[in-house]
């Protein structure tokens, strides 16, 4: 059974990032992110979640919020419409050693 831990309305990106950073530690290990047309849900392994309403996968501001929790997603196809109710991404993406260096 899932349990809503906290929710907030999206006003701007800075406030949303602060909300995610503050409420993230009220959850257990992060498991996945669900992004609807109008809301962002961050779900832990116990299926407890928090929700940010007023932002969806069509908005440009969703990309920094997904990167904040290391979600595995493709920024090129993120904003495309889908038949499903939401888009689901696993969190905890890992980067290879020296991925940011140019050889």
Q: Is residue 99 part of a domain?
A: no
Q: How far apart are the C-alpha atoms of 90 and 69, rounded to whole Å? A: 9
Q: What is the pLDDT of residues 63-100, one digit of tens each?
A: 999 999 989 999 999 999 999 999 999 987 766 677 67
Instruction: Name the DSSP letter for residue 35.
Output: E
Q: How far apart are the C-alpha atoms of 16 and 46, rounded to whole Å? A: 23
Per-residue confidence (pLDDT) for residue 90, from 0 to 100: 92
Q: What is the pTM of this model?
A: 0.83
Q: What is the pLDDT of residues 7-32, one digit of tens each?
A: 889 989 999 999 988 888 888 888 99
Backbone φ/ψ region at 92: left (φ over 0), alpha (ψ -120 to 50), beta: left
Q: Is residue 101 part of a domain?
A: no
Q: How far apart are the C-alpha atoms of 52 and 33, rounded to whole Å? A: 11
Range of the domain at 19: 3-90
Q: Is residue 39 part of a domain?
A: yes
Look at the chain and report how many structural domains it folds into: 1
- Which of 2, 86, 30 lies closest to 21 in space, CA to CA? 30
55 in helix, strand or coil?
coil
């Amino acid at each position: 059974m899932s349990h809503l831990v906290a929710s907030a309305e999206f006003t701007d990106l800075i406030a949303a990032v602060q909300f995610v950073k503050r409420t993230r530690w009220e959850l257990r290990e992060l498991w996945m992110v669900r992004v609807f047309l109008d809301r962002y849900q961050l779900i832990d392994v116990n299926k407890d979640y928090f929700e940010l309403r007023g932002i969806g996968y069509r908005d440009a501001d969703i990309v920094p919020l997904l990167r904040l929790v290391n979600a595995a997603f493709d920024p090129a196809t993120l904003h495309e419409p889908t038949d499903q109710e939401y888009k689901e991404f696993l969190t905890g993406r890992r980067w290879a050693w020296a991925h940011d260096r140019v050889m």
